[in-house]
């Protein structure tokens, strides 16, 4: 009992330390339009609009998952730019602990600790730049790994219980309600693997495998049924993800782009960073973890085909394959920022690497084993020291901070603006300057039917007196379109990359309807 209490207390201390370290990293990037929109949705959800009626969300709602988390954090922070960073740090800390628990499995003693150490070594230190933006920013699918890992933990720790398939179905259904990605990287792999195992199993084991196939199917029914129920109740609108099959000729390029994405989430590819000696060292140390995960993947894949692999290991192999395969054959992987789509691969690969390498490291002492333990200890020491002492420069709270500061100083309180600036300004000024998102359409501006709410464009409730444009993103609207609609502004101010037009009329009078 005393040992368990000490472990629990130590875990709490480590969790708190990791949270503050990841919070520093998260603050190295300003919030963007997506995270700001999620913050506004969570606030509305917890303040009288639980169904988010009137909202047009993105193709991934995060409704019962991270929006709930945002709302809880807002009880302490309010609607601020920093609450996005706080939530991201909490999420990644949870992922590290869940992946470590999954890596441990049913092992005890030295092997358990070595498994945990391997998983933590792979996950501990996200790469600066794109890595921070992928793993420590807005929801971006990273948090979807939480219900996924919880489901695999139930599958691993609670075997052959009547209610195990029920728990798995509920967890995967919950995850898919907020992010359809969970269906493709969790429910589908679970169904395929367990169906294959059922064909190879005896009559006693076959029934349990088929019950897990049923759990995968039920999880899809839960998520789809929940969405239909929300629609019937008049809840938010959310379009289907715009996923299409890429032309066969594009697959080699997309495979290369996906490989770079894998490098970003594993920390071996550090785009935009100077090749300083320490950066090269960190990349090489991350490469060790990647190689171990790669070997574990192929070894476990062979075992899974032969039917000798652990059930959870087989499911994780299938899940990783589905996630990476979808990136290669679909139109998702347009640039490195699409690495967010494969974020769940990282914790599963870390757990898989640990479950493969842990037993070997815990085996009888030999020269190879001693070298392996020494390398693991060295990697952990360097990464832990870096986490403690490295403090990345803190970015501006928002991408549109300079525009927000200008509008607030001028006493402006309500207006219209390009999407990536609009909700950012609203959040970073804590609702003191509210900006409704717009987009350009031919020779006019219209409401942006994405991460916006019908009441934002109500001329009876709001008096919009300015428009904010991003000069480097003219597809969200231009000053010329504004002048065609309302004439010349009384003032124009160019603030950094933003053009701000001030008017002496309510711009919402006669403005096109939301999502019309």
**Residues 362 and 430 grouped into a single domain:** no
Give the residue from 389, 414, 440 where a domain finishes: 389
My answer on whether 363 and 412 are in the same domain is: no
**Both structure tokens of 170:** 């509920």
414 three-class SS: strand
What's the confidence (pLDDT) of residue 248? 87
Query: Exposed/middle/buried for 454, CB within 10 Å: 0-12, 13-18, 19+?
Result: middle
> CA-CA distance, 475 to 386, in Å (whole number)?
41
DSSP conformational letter for 141: T
Q: Is residue 82 part of a domain?
A: yes
Instruction: Count how many domains the chain has.
Output: 2
**Same domain, residue pair 247 and 380:** yes
Asked whether residue 40 falls in the same domain as residue 107, the answer is yes
Query: Which regions in the chain score pLDDT beneath 50?
Result: none
């006669």: which residue's tokens?
A: 510
Residue 285 within a domain? yes
Bridge partners (DSSP) of residue 452 are 56
In this structure, the answer to whether residues 309 and 379 fall within a common structural domain is: yes
**CA 264, 269, 272, 274 torsion: positive or negative?**
positive
Residues 454 and 312 in one domain: no
Question: Would you say residue 246 lies in a domain?
Answer: yes
437 — alpha (psi -120 to 50), left (phi > 0) or beta? beta
Owner of token pair 């994780």: 316
CB atoms inside a 10 Å sphere around CB 273: 16
512 within domain boundaries? no
Which of these three, 347, 369, 389, is where a domain ends?
389
Task: Determine phi and psi for 412, rounding to 5 degrees.
Answer: -75, 140
CA distances from 280 to 270, 287, 314 (A): 9, 10, 34
436 and 342, same structural domain? no
Alpha-carbon gap, residue 281 to 415, rounded angstroms:
49
Q: Are 78 and 171 contained in the same domain? A: yes
**What is residue 462's predicted lDDT score, i.e. its pLDDT?**
96
**Where in the sequence is the domain holding 468, given as residue range(s)?**
401-502
Q: Give the whole-angstrom CA distance, residue 208 versus residue 202.
A: 10
Strand partners, 514: none
Q: Is residue 515 part of a domain?
A: no
Tell which residue, 404, 423, 468, 394, has the closest CA to residue 138: 423
Distance (Å, whole) CA 114 – CA 394: 35
Tell me, yes or no, whether 119 lies in a domain. yes
What is the C-alpha separation between 65 and 176, in angstroms, rounded? 9
Say whether both 321 and 350 belong to one domain: yes
Buried b / exposed e over 406-443, threshold 16 CB at 10 Å, is bbeeeebbbbbbbbbbbbbbbbbbeeebbbbbbbbeee
Q: Are residues 384 and 405 in the same domain?
A: no
33 plus 173 within the same structural domain: yes
User: In terms of domains, do 327 and 468 share one?
Assistant: no
Q: How far is the C-alpha of 234 from the C-alpha of 238, rounded, in Å?
A: 12
Of 496, 499, 461, nearest to 483 by C-alpha is 499
**Is 394 part of a structural domain of the chain?**
no
- The answer to whether residue 455 is domain-embedded is yes
Domain endpoint, select from 344, 369, 389: 389
Query: Structure pTM?
Result: 0.94
How many residues are present in the chain?
516
């Amino acid at each position: 009992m005393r040992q368990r209490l000490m472990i629990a207390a130590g875990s709490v201390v480590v969790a708190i330390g990791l949270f503050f370290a990841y919070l520093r990293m998260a603050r190295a990037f300003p919030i963007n339009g997506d995270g700001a929109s999620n913050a506004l949705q969570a606030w509305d959800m917890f303040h009288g609009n639980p169904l988010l009626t009137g909202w047009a969300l993105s193709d991934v709602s995060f409704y019962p998952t991270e929006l709930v988390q945002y709302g809880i954090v807002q009880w302490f922070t309010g609607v601020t730019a920093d609450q996005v960073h706080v939530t991201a740090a909490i999420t990644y800390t949870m992922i590290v602990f869940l992946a470590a628990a999954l890596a441990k499995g049913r092992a005890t003693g030295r092997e358990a600790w070595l498994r945990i150490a391997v998983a933590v070594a792979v996950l501990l230190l996200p790469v600066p730049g794109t890595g921070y933006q992928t793993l420590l920013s807005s929801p971006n699918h990273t948090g979807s790994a939480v219900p996924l890992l919880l489901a695999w933990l139930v599958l691993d720790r609670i075997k052959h219980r009547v209610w195990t398939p029920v728990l798995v179905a509920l967890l995967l259904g919950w995850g898919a309600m907020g992010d359809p990605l969970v269906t493709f990287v969790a429910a589908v792999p679970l169904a395929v693997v367990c169906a294959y195992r059922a064909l190879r199993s005896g009559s006693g084991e076959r029934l349990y495998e088929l019950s897990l196939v049923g759990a995968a199917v039920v999880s899809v029914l839960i998520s789809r049924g929940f969405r239909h129920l929300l629609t019937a109740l008049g809840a938010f609108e959310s379009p289907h993800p715009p996923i299409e099959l890429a032309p066969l000729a594009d697959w080699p390029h997309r495979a290369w782009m996906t490989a770079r994405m894998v490098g970003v989430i594993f920390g071996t590819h550090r785009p935009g960073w100077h090749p300083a000696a320490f950066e090269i060292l960190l990349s090489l140390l991350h490469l060790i973890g990647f190689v171990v995960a790669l070997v574990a993947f192929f070894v476990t894949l062979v075992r899974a085909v032969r039917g000798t692999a652990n059930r959870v290991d087989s499911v994780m192999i299938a899940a990783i394959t589905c996630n990476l395969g979808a990136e290669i054959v679909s139109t998702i992987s347009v640039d490195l920022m699409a690495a967010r789509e494969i974020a769940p691969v990282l914790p599963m690969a870390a757990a898989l690497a640990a479950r493969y390498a842990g037993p070997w490291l815990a085996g009888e002492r030999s020269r190879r084993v001693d070298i392996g333990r020494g390398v693991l200890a060295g990697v952990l020491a360097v990464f832990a020291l870096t986490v403690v002492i490295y403090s990345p420069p803190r970015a501006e709270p928002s991408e549109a901070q300079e525009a927000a500061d200008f509008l607030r100083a001028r006493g402006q309180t309500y207006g219209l603006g390009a999407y990536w600036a609009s909700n950012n300004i609203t959040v970073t000024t804590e609702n003191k300057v509210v900006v409704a998102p717009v987009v350009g359409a031919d020779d006019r501006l219209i409401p942006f039917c994405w991460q916006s709410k019908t009441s934002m464009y109500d001329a009876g409730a709001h008096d919009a007196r300015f428009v904010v444009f991003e000069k480097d993103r003219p597809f969200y609207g231009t000053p010329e379109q504004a002048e065609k609609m309302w004439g010349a502004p009384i003032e124009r101010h160019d603030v950094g990359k933003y053009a701000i037009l001030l008017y002496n009329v309510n711009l919402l009078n006669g403005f096109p309807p939301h999502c019309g």
